[in-house]
């Protein structure tokens, strides 16, 4: 939780630079970058030095390494999962599991990402 003044920065994905990312204060530049690389994002989770979020438009999950300014992209298409990824949920117990739900009009899917 942020108390007091803070610096607002926006995400820029740089896939042409070996899957790196950076932060910017330029909202217009960040909006264009989001439209190109990670549209309609929902769900967010942080575990250790990893930040996870999903893109409905691209049907992908993004994993940012918060220590190294690099990121990975995982497809959310496969098996019986045919809709758009929606929310992320982390279950903690003997082992941590990250789930994402699917937004489809008639069916419901839940996928697990270890």
pLDDT in tens, 33-47: 999 999 888 778 888
DSSP state of 81: B
pTM: 0.73
Query: What does the pLDDT look like over 95-107, one tens digit per residue?
Result: 555 555 555 555 5
Looking at residue 70, the DSSP 8-state letter turns out to be E
pLDDT of residue 104: 56
Note the pLDDT of residue 89.
Answer: 60
Spatial contact of 53 and 39, defined as CB atoms under 8 Å apart: no
Q: How far apart are the first and last CA of the chain?
A: 27
pLDDT below 70 — which residues of the chain?
1-4, 78-114
Instruction: Give the whole-angstrom CA distance, residue 95 versus residue 24.
Output: 35
pLDDT recorded at residue 97: 54
């Amino acid at each position: 939780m942020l108390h007091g003044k803070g610096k607002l920065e926006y995400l820029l994905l740089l896939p042409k630079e070996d899957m790196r990312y950076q932060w910017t204060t330029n909202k217009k530049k960040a909006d264009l970058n989001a439209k190109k690389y990670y549209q309609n994002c929902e769900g967010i989770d942080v575990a250790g030095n990893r930040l996870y979020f999903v893109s409905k438009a691209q049907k992908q999950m993004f994993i940012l390494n918060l220590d190294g300014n690099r990121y990975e992209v995982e497809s959310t298409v496969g098996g019986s999962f045919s809709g758009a990824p929606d929310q992320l949920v982390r279950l903690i117990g003997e082992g941590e599991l990250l789930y994402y739900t699917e937004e489809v009009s008639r069916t419901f899917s839940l996928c697990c990402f270890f």
